[in-house]
Chains A and B, each alone.
Chain A
Amino acid sequence: MVPRHDLVKGSSNSLLLCLLEQQPMYGYQIVKELEARSQGYFRFKEGTLYPALHRLEKSGLVTGKWQMLPNGRQRHYYYITDKGLAKLAQERTQWRDFLNAVRLILQPGTSGP
Chain B
Amino acid sequence: MTPELIQYLENIRYNSKLNRADETELISELETHIEDKLRELTESGLSPEEAIKTCLGEMGSTRLVARQIYEAYSQGSWRQVLMASLPHLLFGLLFALNWWQYPFWVSVLLVLTLATAVYGWWHDKPTWAFSWLGYSLIPVLAVGILLLYLPKGWSLLALPLYFPLALWWLFRIIVQTTRRDWLFSSLMLLPLPIIIGWFLAVSPTGKLTEFNLPRVYGFAPWIGMSFIALALTIGAFIRVRQRWLRIGLLAASGLSTLTLVVYYTTGRLNTPTFLGLVMVMWGVLLVPPVLERYLRSGRGIIWRHRKPPRPGLKQAA
Q: Is A73 an interface residue (CB 8 A)?
A: yes
B residues near A77, Cβ cutoff 8 Å: 316
- Beta-carbon nearest neighbor of B12 in chain A: A47
Stretch at the interface among B66-74, B150-158, B174-182, B298-306: B66-74
A residues near B315, Cβ cutoff 8 Å: 67-68, 70
Pairwise interchain contact A50-B36, C-beta atoms closer than 8 A: no
Pairwise interchain contact A45-B316, C-beta atoms closer than 8 A: no
Q: With A51-B65, A68-B314, A76-B25 in contact, do A28 and B37 touch (Cβ < 8 Å)? A: yes
Q: With A46-B33, A51-B71 in contact, do A74 and B64 touch (Cβ < 8 Å)? A: no
Pairwise interchain contact B26-A54, C-beta atoms closer than 8 A: yes
A residues near B33, Cβ cutoff 8 Å: 27-28, 46, 50
Chain A, 10-47, CB within 8 A of any chain B CB: 26-28, 45-47
A70 to B314, CA, bound (A): 10
Question: What's the interface size class on B, roughly?
Answer: 20 to 34
Pairwise interchain contact A48-B64, C-beta atoms closer than 8 A: yes
Q: How many residues of A contact B (CB 8 A)?
A: 25
Pairwise interchain contact A58-B29, C-beta atoms closer than 8 A: no
Q: With A28-B32, A66-B310, A77-B316 in contact, do A58 and B73 touch (Cβ < 8 Å)? A: yes
Pairwise interchain contact A74-B30, C-beta atoms closer than 8 A: no
Q: Which of B62, B68, B69, B314 has the most CB of A within 10 A?
A: B68
Pairwise interchain contact A50-B29, C-beta atoms closer than 8 A: yes
A55 to B75, CA, bound (A): 10
B residues near A69, Cβ cutoff 8 Å: 316
Pairwise interchain contact A74-B71, C-beta atoms closer than 8 A: no
B residues near A52, Cβ cutoff 8 Å: 68, 72
Pairwise interchain contact A50-B30, C-beta atoms closer than 8 A: yes
B residues near A58, Cβ cutoff 8 Å: 72-73
Candidates A45, A67, A73; contact of B58 at CB < 8 Å: A45
Chain A, 59-112, CB within 8 A of any chain B CB: 64-70, 73-77
Chain B, 35-61, CB within 8 A of any chain A CB: 36-37, 58-61
- Beta-carbon nearest neighbor of B25 in chain A: A76
A residues near B61, Cβ cutoff 8 Å: 45
A70 to B316, CA, bound (A): 7
Q: Is B309 an interface residue (CB 8 A)?
A: yes
A33–chain B nearest beta-carbon distance, Å: 13
Q: Is B313 an interface residue (CB 8 A)?
A: yes
Q: Which residues of B contact A (CB under 8 A)?
A: 12, 25-26, 28-30, 32-33, 36-37, 58-62, 64-65, 68-69, 71-73, 309-310, 313-316
- Identify the 6 closest CB pairs spanning chains A and B, nearest first: A45-B60, A51-B68, A47-B65, A47-B59, A47-B60, A55-B72
